[in-house]
């Protein structure tokens, strides 16, 4: 008998498939052994499930598991409920870089919204340019912060603006810092699931004297659709776990200052 015991806990195939896709949206990658244990079935069953899901284009099969398809990411509202302590710690470090009278460009995303909320709480006398309504909303709690909202095409999943009008607006400003998130972080650089957002982040990076990437370790070694920044162009990475392997070496070659929240 190849299946594990305790059949009362087992889900049917359709329910297993739904579980796998849902977990990938939250975790971005999963291993066969983890799925087999969580679903109380054999690794052979999981491999068959992953084969079928891969044939439907719902996942990307990897050696030993599965990954979220390129261009796929939970909505910003869903991401706000994930990795909250880690993101709050990252936000605390990001806010320490900011000085009175700085001009900031802040991109959309869950981690950047956490950073904006922390900035609103502890900083003053800033001008912030953003394309993200969530960022603008949390900053509005501080009356000493002037917020400029970029125009463009509205993305309801992400709560932000994008497109040629957005980039043209941003080209009219210069900033001390661009504070940006990422869907994926690899040795190649930073990438984004949404191409219009990737174009906005690239423009923000170009218009700022310094660029800070704020992202939790779950983004490490994840590939998203559009690469918009290389490590030689980025000065700072603030995260919750020290990168290792090829990513760590690429950051070192790019002379990126890595700050680990709660670490050293």
Q: Place 141 in a pLDDT band, splitting at 50, 70 and 90.
A: very high
Q: Which of 67, 92, 108 is the last residue of a domain?
A: 67
* Nearest to 90, CA basis, from 66, 115, 71: 115
Residue 2 lies in a domain: no
61-70, 169-178, 224-233: least confidently modelled range: 61-70
Same domain, 57 and 129: no
Whether residue 172 lies inside any domain: the answer is yes
Query: Are 127 and 213 members of one domain?
Result: yes
150: in domain = yes
Same domain, 182 and 254: yes
185 vs 1, more confident: 185
Choose the weakest-confidence range: 40-49, 82-91, 185-194.
82-91
**Same-domain pairing of 219 and 143:** yes
End-of-domain residue from the set 15, 34, 67: 67
CATH, residue 123 = 3.40.50.1360
Residue 207 shares a structural domain with residue 162: yes
Q: Do both 22 and 93 map to the same domain? A: no
Say how many domains are in the chain.
2
Give the tokens for residue 128: 């912030």
Res. 7 pLDDT band, cuts 50 70 90: very low
Is there a single domain that holds both residue 167 and residue 255?
yes
pLDDT above 70 covers a percentage of the chain that reads: 88
Residue 28 is predicted with a pLDDT of 61
Q: Verify that 80 and 61 share a domain, yes or no.
A: no
Identify whether residues 244 and 199 lie together within a single domain.
yes
Query: Do residues 213 and 251 touch, judged by C-beta distance below 8 A?
Result: no
CATH number at residue 49: 1.10.10.10
Domain hosting residue 25, numbered range: 7-67
Comparing 92 with 60, which gets the higher pLDDT? 92
Same domain, 36 and 118: no
Residues 210 and 245 in one domain: yes
Q: Tens of pLDDT along 153-196?
A: 999 888 899 999 999 999 999 999 999 999 889 999 999 988 99
Does residue 1 lie in a domain region?
no
**C-alpha–C-alpha distance, residues 86 and 89, integer Å:** 5
Q: Is residue 47 part of a domain?
A: yes
User: Between residues 76 and 41, which one has the greater pLDDT?
Assistant: 41
pLDDT bucket at 26, cuts 50 / 70 / 90: low
**Domain for residue 180, yes or no?**
yes
Chosen domain end from 67, 84, 107: 67
The answer to whether position 149 is within a domain reads yes
Q: Quick: pLDDT tens for 95-134.
A: 999 999 999 999 999 899 999 999 999 999 999 999 999 9
Cβ atoms of residues 131 and 160 within 8 Å:
yes
In a 10 Å sphere around its CB, with 0-12 CB exposed, 13-18 middle and 19+ buried, how is residue 10 labelled?
A: middle
* The predicted structure's pLDDT at residue 8: 36
Whether the pLDDT of residue 243 is over 80: the answer is: yes
Residue among 85, 100, 95 nearest 118 (CA):
95
Can you give the chain as a three-state secondary structure string?
A: CCCCCCHHHCCCHHHHHHHHHHHHHHHCEEEHHHHHHHHCCCHHHHHHHHHHHHHCCCCEEECCEEECCCCCCCCHHHHCCCCHHHHHHHHHHHHCCCCCCCEEEECCCHHHHHHHHHHHHHCCCEEEEECEHHHHHHHCCCCCEEEEECCCEEECCCCEEECHHHHHHHCCCCEEEEEECCCEEECCEEEECCHHHHHHHHHHHHHEEEEEEECCHHHECCCCCEEEECHHHCCEEEECCCCCHHHHHHHHHCCCEEEECCCC
Based on the domain organization, do 151 and 113 belong to the same domain?
yes
Pairing of strands 257-260, 236-239: parallel
Whole-angstrom distance, CA of residue 75 vs CA of residue 164? 23
Q: In terms of Cα–Cα distance, which of 135, 142, 183 is closest to 161? A: 135
């Amino acid at each position: 008998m190849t299946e594990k015991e305790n059949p009362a806990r087992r889900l049917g195939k359709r329910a297993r498939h739904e579980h796998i896709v849902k977990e990938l949206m939250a975790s971005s990658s999963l291993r066969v052994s983890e799925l087999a244990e969580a679903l109380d079935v054999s690794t052979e069953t999981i491999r068959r499930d992953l084969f079928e899901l891969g044939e439907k284009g719902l996942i990307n099969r990897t050696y030993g598991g599965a990954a979220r398809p390129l261009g796929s990411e939970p909505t910003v509202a869903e991401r706000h409920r994930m990795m909250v302590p880690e993101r709050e710690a990252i936000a605390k470090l990001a806010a320490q870089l900011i000085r009175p009278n700085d001009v900031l460009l802040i991109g959309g995303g869950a981690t950047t919204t956490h950073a904006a909320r922390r900035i609103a709480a502890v900083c003053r006398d800033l001008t912030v340019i953003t394309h993200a309504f969530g960022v603008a909303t949390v900053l509005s709690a501080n009356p000493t912060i002037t917020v400029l909202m970029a125009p463009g095409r509205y993305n309801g999943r992400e709560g932000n603006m994008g497109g040629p009008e957005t980039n043209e607006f941003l080209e009219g400003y210069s900033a001390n810092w661009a504070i940006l998130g990422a869907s994926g972080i690899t040795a190649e650089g930073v990438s984004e699931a949404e191409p219009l957002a990737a174009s906005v982040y690239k423009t923000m990076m170009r218009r700022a004297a310094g660029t800070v990437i704020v992202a939790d370790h779950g983004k490490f070694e994840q590939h998203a659709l559009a690469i918009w920044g290389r490590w030689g162009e980025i000065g700072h990475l603030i995260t919750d776990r020290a990168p290792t392997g090829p990513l760590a070496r690429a950051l070192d070659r790019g002379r990126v200052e890595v700050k680990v929240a709660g670490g050293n």
